[in-house]
Structure 1
Amino acid sequence: MKFKASTLHKIGRPLVNYVYKNPKRNIPKVLKIGKAITGNLFPETTWTAPLDVITNPQNTWNDYVYRIIEETDKELLTNVLLTFAIDAGYIGTSTLRENRDKLKCNIPWIILMDPTSACNLKCKGCWAAEYGHHSNLTLDEMRKIVTEAKALGTHFFMFTGGEPLVRKKDILTITNENKDCIFLAFTNGTLVDDEFCEELKKSG
């Protein structure tokens, strides 16, 4: 039985609230629910690896995970977690595997996309400098990539470059238009300001 994204989001939001009440006690319980819903869609390590992270104080990521929960805006983190688990994870993986079988080709789970080759810095040794600074994807080209990727089952995108935040207005447009996707960026961080952080938070 395949669940609809809307149904899973309705279930997922109360589960995240439940996690916040006592993360150390409740995350393992929520992982069990996730495993029961997804069946055999994911390998066993999908569940055992995060379980070790949250239950083993010696795990490198243990403190980091709990700091994320404590220090990140709750609404933003809820949106990210649900989009990652439901849209990119459950729905995306199911669709992606169906299309791999149907189209007889590999479909990536994550797509790296360079909005621009331009950069606001000229760092010695940076490979991006070899490309020149004049290649750009238009906003409509980026939209087309995301739309076609989602149809195939890919809901996860990494902006690279150049410095992707040279195009931060267009990146925010893309993120606002695609709430069912996860977007990350390799950035030098120098173009991140308070206004951008607020807009990023609104985009979810």
Structure 2
Amino acid sequence: MHSFPQHLLDGYASFMSGRYARERDRYRELAATGQKPTTLMIACCDSRAAPELIFDSGPGELFVLRNVANLVPPYQPDGGQHGTSAAIEFAVKALNIENIVIMGHGRCGGIHAALNPDKTPLDDGDFIGKWLTMLGDLPTQVVQNSLMTATERQTAMERISIRNSIRNLRTFPYVAALEAEGKLALHGAWFDISGGELWVMAESGDFVRPSI
């Protein structure tokens, strides 16, 4: 049996003496009364793009769902096991979330894989390859643009994928209904790891730098 990673224990010790010590009352309140976040953040698993750090969020402020390439599948009540859809259902129906943010990021490995499919998957299950098929033919359309550089295609696909996930969110009946009633807002965001830039999606679908 391997010992628990020491760097994680060191990090926990720092957390307890730092943030937890400063916000002990807040943690106890959350434990007693439950969570009431107003925003569901659907982000990538990438260790370099943690929403809680990027938005400097405190405990209980964000309900975070992370998966490969921050993708949202279409609504499919087919009896299968759908982790992403289950989290969306809980956030919207149980927590009464007011905002859903699809947050992509630069240099996304999942998007790179979608643009450059490997003929030899990492494993026989090829879970990654199957997961990325929900992008349909969008990666092919981007790859076929020979006037764009590889870097430009990567960024374009990262942002197109965000718009595609928002489109898929609207196939969930309760999401579409609440959005139409003005009780739920859908947002897109893209974070550049290298420069720390945040871009948000306007109503037009364009990504713009917000004023901060």
Scaled by the length of structure 1, the TM-score of the pair is 0.28
Scaled by the length of structure 2, the TM-score of the pair is 0.28
More helix by share: 1
Higher strand residue share? 2
